[in-house]
Amino acid sequence: MARPRDDGDVRAALAGKTVIYEFEKQTFFASGRTSFDAGILDWGHWEVRDGQYCSLWPPSDVWACYDVSLRNWAGVTQVRFTGQDGDESLGTVME
């Protein structure tokens, strides 16, 4: 998977997109809001810092940041988020 080169690339990869995980989906609004739907809808905030994707999910006031890598295969874009502890999540990007 290729890592986006800078903040603008990360933002362009996610803004206005919905990522489908195994059973859940998350939408990244260009406004900086993000929603996570696992049957119950959660709302958070996202932004890009130093080439990393960062998110905040109230009531927590702690931002968590992840490396983002992308892979386009047969017209399908996959995204991988990797946290500081090496925890990963893989999803498919929908327009």
Residue 65's nearest CA partner among 56, 74, 73 is 56
Cα 2 from Cα 21, distance rounded (Å): 19
Q: Is 22 in the site for other proteins (CB under 8 A)?
A: yes
Contact 3, 9 (CB under 8 A): no
Is the CB of 27 or the CB of 77 nearer to other proteins?
Answer: 27
- Nearest distance, CB of residue 74 and other proteins, angstroms: 15
Peptide bond into 59 cis (omega under 30): yes
Q: Which listed residue (2, 6, 12, 38) binds other proteins by CB under 8 A?
A: 38
Residue of the chain from 9, 15, 35, 47 that contacts other proteins (CB under 8 A): 35
Q: How many CA atoms lie within 13 A of 48 on its CB side?
A: 20
Q: Does 25 bind other proteins (CB under 8 A)?
A: yes
Give the tokens for residue 92: 């498919």
Among 18, 69, 77, 78, which residue interacts with other proteins (rule: CB under 8 A)? 18
**Interacting residues with other proteins (CB under 8 A):** 18-27, 29-31, 33, 35-42, 44, 53, 55, 57, 66, 81, 89, 94
